[in-house]
Amino acid sequence: MARDPQKPQFFRTLRVKNVQQVGVLAGVLGVVARHGASVGDIRTVHQSRTSMVRDIDLLVESLAELDAIVAELDEMPETTVLELRDEVLSAHLGGKIRMVPQMPIDTFADLGRVYTPGVGEVCRRIYEDPSLADNYTIIANTVAIISDGSAVLGLGNLGPLAAMPVLEGKAALLAHLVGVNAFPIALRSQDPDDIVAAAAAISPSFGVIQLEDIASPKCFEVERRVQEAVGVAAFHDDQHGTAAVVLAALINACRLAETVPQQLLIGQIGLGAAGFAIARSIMHYTGNPVLGADRSPEAIDRLVGSGGTASDIEEVCGKCDVVIATTGQPALIAPSMVRPGQIIFALSNPRPEIDATLAIEAGARIAEGGAAINNLLCYPGACRGLLDVGAKSAPQAVFRAASEAIVVATPEGQLLPNPLEKRAHSAVARAVARASVAAGIASRELDVDYFTEE
């Protein structure tokens, strides 16, 4: 039975000690299933001749489910509940990133090289030739991830402090996947003038400005104005990173369905930051209008002005071969609205417009949600490529190149590559760098070996 996408979900790890006997683990999993929880990873912690200790990851819709599971397991003589942990919160304790020096600083000689008196000579040289900052500072490998917290995930306006876990997570992933330094910057003000002024004021320290979790429609103005105010590439990841991955998923879905996007009628429900960018990206790729539905007349006008067609949810679901939804409204699409053979991407996180399993059961040919079609597949490689060529802007062409690189990196029969596969991110970086050079926005040359397949 599919989980209710309208309810919150909680991740917990259950540690149990079982008697080493056939059928005991099956009994534990049976208890979990009876109370409506889903099982993730199961890991063996300790094994002896008489017992087995395991960690079992659970996904539940209420804490009452957990209480009921633990209570029933406590009644089983072959099983002992040792611990119930919230590993999500534990993973965030103290934050997810830190700064470390690149060299030891243990002696006065080290201090003299890293700071005073030696650093003064480096400052003087950069003053005389600003291009040397690329060689003697972290700027050329550093991204600012800036947010006002006005549109955090699909949760809404949570403010700057609550946006920090997302910003830290993206910074950690940039470091891990592509070796980029990234700093989370949460702004107290949600006024567009203040956001633009703040980004412009700090921009000398960064090689790329990545805007994050800024609400629509102000995000469109903010992105444009930030790009005009800074001398480096700036982009709003919720728009362009998401759109690039959705386009890649659409191309691959069409291959699985033995068709091409140009032959399909495509509809976009929700024309906020992600939705409008997705529609624009698809129209740029196919040359065909996208049908768009949104409650905001301003959003509809924006789509029509970009070549799209005004529509509504009933027409999109009733006529379109591809339905993409980015509304933040759980269960907006009822199973009865699904037509046989449709491709459906319900992308709102953490709860989609329709659960992918329900969509498939209702007749969809291919269905997927935002957990799988996620901008993680784009922004690390995009930042890496933009930094490597010193890009001065981030036009649509670089994100189309990212989409096409993701398609090439996708294993046969899959919708998208594994987002933790570093080769996929390297492919995106090379494609973005190449597109930046072709677009005339690169400020530095790269050796030809950079563009060679790894």
* Local confidence pLDDT in tens for the 454 residues of the chain: 344 444 457 888 889 999 988 889 999 999 988 888 888 889 998 888 888 999 998 888 778 888 889 999 988 999 998 888 887 777 777 777 788 888 888 888 888 888 888 888 899 999 999 999 999 999 999 999 999 999 888 778 999 999 999 999 999 999 999 999 999 999 999 999 999 999 999 999 999 999 999 999 999 999 999 999 999 999 999 999 999 999 999 999 999 999 999 999 999 999 999 999 999 999 999 999 999 999 999 999 999 999 999 999 999 999 999 999 999 888 899 999 999 999 999 998 777 899 999 999 999 999 999 888 989 999 999 999 999 999 999 999 999 999 999 999 999 999 999 999 999 999 999 999 999 999 999 998 887 777 776 5
pLDDT at 62: 77
3-state secondary structure of 190: coil
Strand partners, 19: 51
Q: How many CB atoms lie within 10 A of CB 86?
A: 12
pLDDT at 166: 93
List CB contacts of 38: < 8 A, sequence separation 6 or more: 3, 58, 59, 60
In the chain, list all ranges with CATH 3.30.70.260. 10-92
In the chain, list all ranges with CATH 3.40.50.10380. 108-237
pLDDT at 6: 42
Q: What angle do CA 433, 437, 440 make, to 5 degrees?
A: 140
Q: The tokens of 193 are what?
A: 């003038």
3-state secondary structure of 15: strand
> Is residue 17 flagged as an active site residue?
no
> Distance of alpha carbon 241 from its chain centroid, rounded?
8
111-122: string of b/e by CB count within 10 Å (b at 16+)?
eeeeeeeeeeee
pLDDT at 86: 81
Q: The tokens of 36 are what?
A: 């409506």
pLDDT at 242: 93
Q: The tokens of 274 are what?
A: 């992600």
Residue matched to tokens 């699909």: 154
Q: How many CB atoms lie within 10 A of CB 72?
A: 17
**Cβ-contact 213, 150 below 8 angstroms:** yes
Q: The tokens of 144 are what?
A: 């600012």
Is the CATH number of domain 108-237 3.40.50.1700?
A: no
The kind and range of the H/E element at 209 are strand 208-211
The rounded distance, in Å, linking the Cα atoms of 191 and 272 is 18
Per CATH, the number for 10-92 is 3.30.70.260
> Distance of alpha carbon 225 from its chain centroid, rounded?
24
**Cβ-contact 347, 249 below 8 angstroms:** no
Q: What's 293's DSSP letter?
A: E
pLDDT at 108: 86
Q: The tokens of 242 are what?
A: 């998401």
pLDDT at 453: 61
pLDDT at 451: 75
The rounded distance, in Å, linking the Cα atoms of 454 and 429 is 12
> Is residue 170 flagged as an active site residue?
yes
Choosing from 170, 285, 379, 392, the catalytic residue is 170
pLDDT at 105: 86
pLDDT at 454: 54
Q: The tokens of 203 are what?
A: 């921009």
The rounded distance, in Å, linking the Cα atoms of 167 and 212 is 8
Choosing from 115, 127, 136, 319, the catalytic residue is 115
Tell me phi and psi for residue 175, to 5 degrees.
-65, -45
Q: The tokens of 310 are what?
A: 């005004």
Of 445, 444, 421, 22, the closest CA to residue 232 belongs to: 444
Residue matched to tokens 């003299």: 112
